[in-house]
């Protein structure tokens, strides 16, 4: 395989990691708390978070696809790779654990983009028109924030396992 293809794969993988993990961390540490502190818990906060999520969602999805494709290429050229579901060395076990955390992050992202965000957007719109009950909206916002925090934890685990795999 061409060295340039591998280099391009690593570059794209790093960029996708920065975009996806950076977006998740930014929302968890800056976005949610900052918007709630500045705007309170009213419909403006929900609308601002919805707009941020709308802008981030395509970047997240593109990053997921990029990470999957480039990760497979990188794994296939790694000298420690012994085959699909072959765990004969520490590297393969660490990569398995990394992929489990990655799949959890992917599932959370898919749920958030496909189900949670549309429900939040609908309830936020109703709230701005004075037609939504605050209890369901508040519960969904709390769920979104908790899932984002779980995603941050998984992202840190992925990065830790990446560091371990690189050091083997």
Q: What is the mean pLDDT of residues 22-39?
A: 88
Give pLDDT, residue 128: 74
Render pLDDT for 124-139 as a digit per residue (tens, 0 to 9). 777 777 776 667 877 8
Give pLDDT, residue 134: 65
Residue 17 reports pLDDT greater than 90: yes
Q: 120 vs 37, which has greater pLDDT?
A: 37
Distance CA 97, CA 109 (A): 18
Are 24 and 151 within 8 A, CB to CB? yes
Residue spans of the domains in the chain: they are: 3-167
Give pLDDT, residue 36: 85
Give pLDDT, residue 66: 95
Distance CA 155, CA 158 (A): 5
Query: Percentage helix, strand, coil, to 5, in the chain?
Result: 85, 0, 15
A 10 A CB-CB count for 31 gives 20
Give pLDDT, residue 133: 60
Distance CA 127, CA 134 (A): 8
Work out the mean pLDDT of the chain and round it to a whole number. 86
Residue 12 reports pLDDT greater than 90: yes
């Amino acid at each position: 395989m061409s060295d340039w293809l591998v280099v391009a794969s690593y570059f794209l993988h790093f960029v996708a990691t920065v975009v996806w993990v950076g977006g998740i961390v930014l929302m968890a540490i800056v976005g949610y708390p900052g918007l709630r502190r500045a705007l309170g818990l009213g419909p403006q906060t929900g609308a601002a978070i919805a707009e941020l999520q709308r802008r981030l969602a395509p970047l997240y999805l593109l990053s997921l696809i990029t990470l999957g494709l480039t990760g497979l290429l990188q794994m296939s050229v790694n000298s420690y790779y012994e085959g699909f579901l072959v765990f004969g060395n520490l590297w393969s076990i660490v990569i398995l654990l990394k992929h489990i955390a990655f799949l959890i992050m992917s599932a959370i992202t898919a749920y958030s983009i496909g189900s949670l965000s549309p429900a939040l957007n609908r309830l936020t719109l109703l709230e701005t028109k004075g037609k939504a009950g605050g209890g369901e909206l508040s519960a969904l916002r709390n769920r979104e924030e908790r899932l984002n925090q779980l995603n941050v934890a998984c992202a840190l685990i992925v990065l830790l396992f990446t560091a371990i795999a690189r050091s083997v």
